[in-house]
Copies of this chain bind each other. A is one copy, B any other.
Amino acid sequence: MIKVTLDQIIEYLEKDQHDELRAKINLLHPADAAQIINELPAEYQVKTFSYLSSELASDVIYDLHDELREDILETIQQKRLVEIMGEMDSDEATDIAAELDEHQLKDVLQKIDKEDSDEIKQLLIYDEDTAGGIMQKEIIAVDQEMKRDEIIEYIRGNYEEVENIHYIFVVDKENKLIGILEVTRLLLAKPQRSAKDVMDKEVISAQVNLDQEQVAHIFRKYDIYILPVVDKENHLLGRITVDDIIDVIDEEASEDVYKMVGLESEDKVFTSPISSVRKRLPWLTLNLFTALLVSSVVGVFEGTIARLSFLAVLMPIVAGLGGNSGTQTLTVITRGIALGELTLHNTYRAIFKEITVGIINGFLIGSVAMLIMYFFKGDILLGVILGVSMVCNMFIAGLIGSSIPVIMKTLKIDPALASSVIITMLTDIGGFASFLGLATLLL
Give which listed residue, B298, B314, B335, B428, contacts A257 with CB less than 8 A: B335
Tell me the nearest residue of chain B to A300, going by C-beta. B313
A125 to chain B, nearest CB (A): 25
Question: Does the CB pair A159–B188 fall under 8 Å?
Answer: yes
B188 touches A332 (CB 8 A): no
Q: Is the CB of A246 within 8 A of B249?
A: yes
For A273, the closest partner residue in chain B by CB is B356
In the assembly, what is the distance between CA of A166 and CA of B220, in Å? 19
Q: A357 to chain B: which residues have CB within 8 Å?
A: 273, 276-277, 280
Task: Give this chain's copy count.
Answer: 2
Q: Which residues of B contact A262 (CB under 8 A)?
A: 324, 328
Does A321 contact B242, Cβ atoms closer than 8 Å? no
Interface string of A59-102 (1 = CB under 8 A from B): 00000010000000000000000000000000000000000000
Contact B302 A312 (CB under 8 A): yes
Least CB distance, A370 to chain B, in whole angstroms: 11
Q: Is the CB of B243 within 8 A of A246?
A: no
Interface residues of A in 29-58 (CB under 8 A from B): 29, 31, 35, 38-39
* Known contacts A31-B221, A312-B312: A317-B288 contact under CB 8 Å: yes
Partner among B186, B294, B339 whose Cβ is within 8 Å of the Cβ of A187: B186
Of the four ranges (under 10, 10 to 19, 20 to 34, 35 or more), the interface on chain A belongs to 35 or more
Q: Which of A138-168 contact B (CB under 8 A)?
A: 152, 155-156, 159, 164-166
Measured CA separation A183–B187 after assembly (Å): 8
Q: Is the CB of A315 within 8 A of B313?
A: no
Please indicate the chain B residues that have their CB under 8 angstroms from the CB of A155 in the complex. Answer: 184, 187-188
Tell me how far the C-beta of A364 lies from the nearest C-beta in chain B, rounded to whole angstroms: 6
The 5 closest A-B pairs by CB, nearest first: A312-B312, A269-B336, A306-B309, A223-B243, A253-B253
Selected A-B contacts with CB under 8 Å, 26 pairs? A1-B204, A6-B345, A38-B341, A39-B345, A156-B188, A159-B184, A183-B183, A187-B187, A242-B243, A253-B257, A257-B331, A261-B328, A268-B341, A269-B341, A269-B350, A270-B353, A285-B368, A291-B317, A295-B316, A305-B305, A305-B312, A306-B309, A309-B312, A312-B312, A315-B315, A324-B421
